[in-house]
Structures are given as structure tokens and as C-alpha cells.
Amino acid sequence: MLKNIEGQSVPNVTFKTREGDAWKDVTTEDIFAGKKVILFALPGAFTPTCSSSHLPRYNELAATFKQNGIDDVICLSVNDSFVMNEWKKVQDAKNITFIPDGSGVFSDGMGMLVNKDNLGFGLRSWRYSMLVNDGKIEKMFIEPDVEGDPFDVSDADTMLEHINPQARKPRAITVFSKPGCSHCTRAKAALEKADMAYEEIVLGTDATGLSLRAVSGALTTPQIFIDGVKIGGADELETYLASGNSVAA
């Protein structure tokens, strides 16, 4: 049975991290002392749920967490530093600090080290998240101890709801663009001026004209969507922003 250890201190561990071409020891004191930190732990870098949902949403909400008193957001997995650094690069997770628990010492100290030999993984961390204040665990969200890889409570939105139910979340913005499109450049500049982060899907690289027509009913670029609603092109976006629509929902 996976045990909730709220009220206790995090294990005293030294992590072997890699910065550039050099090894660097990072201790739990370096990470947690005098800080309010969110740590989310997962079974493995590059694995499906971890890559498609768990990590990306924490990366999206990192700025919101910091606006609500969080000093750092940590992703921890029982992987080595080379793997974690490459995963961070591939995921473009610039807002997250990656900590490799290569030998599983921290996960074991948390009581979260589990055997995944059935998948050929060996010993890995169970999926959980926690809020840590100056080294002491204030809150834990531990996935239920059931078969498989549950992902119900350790997500970023659940953690944010705990920290501040009234927190304003960033809008989900997608810009369909194509190379050499001056109106696309104008639309992206308008979003950046409004401090609204966006995902860009480039026709010919990330998608085809058929994909654009299927989702927007149009072939011209840019096509902007905010929170699932089609805004339209650059002119429509400028009208939308001029009407007072803000960065967060």
C-alpha cells in the first residue's frame, strides 16, 4: 500500500545531474530549503501518459503556479540525467526543473519505488505529486494503487485547484500558419504583445492544408483558435484583443 506521508520531511538525497559536459551534485536541501516547491513524479521519461499529459500540463501552468507562490516545479523520474535532459529538450519543457532519481533512492525514501518488471522497466517511481514547503510535505496526491498506470489525481490542474481554486489559467491558443505569411507574423506579434503564449502549427511541416480546412473550414492563414473557439485571421484576432479579452480564463 502506498503511504501518504504529509507532514514529514522529504528524504535527504544527493542527485547526480548533468549540466553541459560536467556532473553536478544537487541535494534535496538545494531543491527544497526555504522554498515552496511542487514535485511531480512519474514512471519514465518518453513514456506515453508522461509525455502527452502529465509533463506538458505542468509546463503550461508553471507561470500560473509561480503567480500563486510556488518557487519551482520539479519533474522527477527514475531515469539518468542524460535521459531526463534529452526529454526536457524534446518536450521543450523550459519551465520545469528535471531531477534524475537514477538509482531510485529518493523514490524509495518516499515509499514510492515500485516494481515494473512486467513492462521491462525494473524499479520505477509510482505516479504522484506533492507540495513541499521548506522541505516539509504539505500535500500529496497519490495515484490509486491499482493495476496499470492510473492518472487521475497527480495532474497539474488538481494541484492548482488545491493551491488556489480561483487561480486564472492561461488560455489554450493555437495558431495555424505557413512560412512567409506576413499576416501570420502580425498575429503572432499581437499575441506576444498581449503576453498570450500559443502553440504554432506550421502548414507543410506540422500539418497540411487539408488539416487546416478540416478544423477551420478555411485555407487562408493564419487561423487562430482560443479555448477551442475559432477566432479567425489576424484582423479578427486584433478585434478580439481590442475588446478586452485577457491572457487568462
Backbone φ, ψ for residue 114 (5° rounding) = -125, 155
Positive or negative torsion for Cα 52, 151, 126, 154:
positive
Indicate which residue of 50, 75, 181, 184 is catalytic.
50
CA 200 to CA 188: how far, in whole Å? 9
CB 13 within 8 A of CB 99: no
CA 238 to CA 243: how far, in whole Å? 9
CA 108 to CA 120: how far, in whole Å? 19
CB 132 within 8 A of CB 37: yes
Known active-site residue 184: no
CA 73 to CA 80: how far, in whole Å? 19
The alpha helices in the chain, defined as continuous H runs, are 28-32, 48-49, 55-67, 81-91, 105-109, 156-163, 182-193, 209-216, 234-242
DSSP per residue, 30-53: HHHTT-EEEEEEES-TT-HHIIII
Q: Could you tell me which of 148, 117, 121 has the C-alpha nearest to residue 44?
A: 121
Q: Which sequence positions are flagged as catalytic?
A: 50
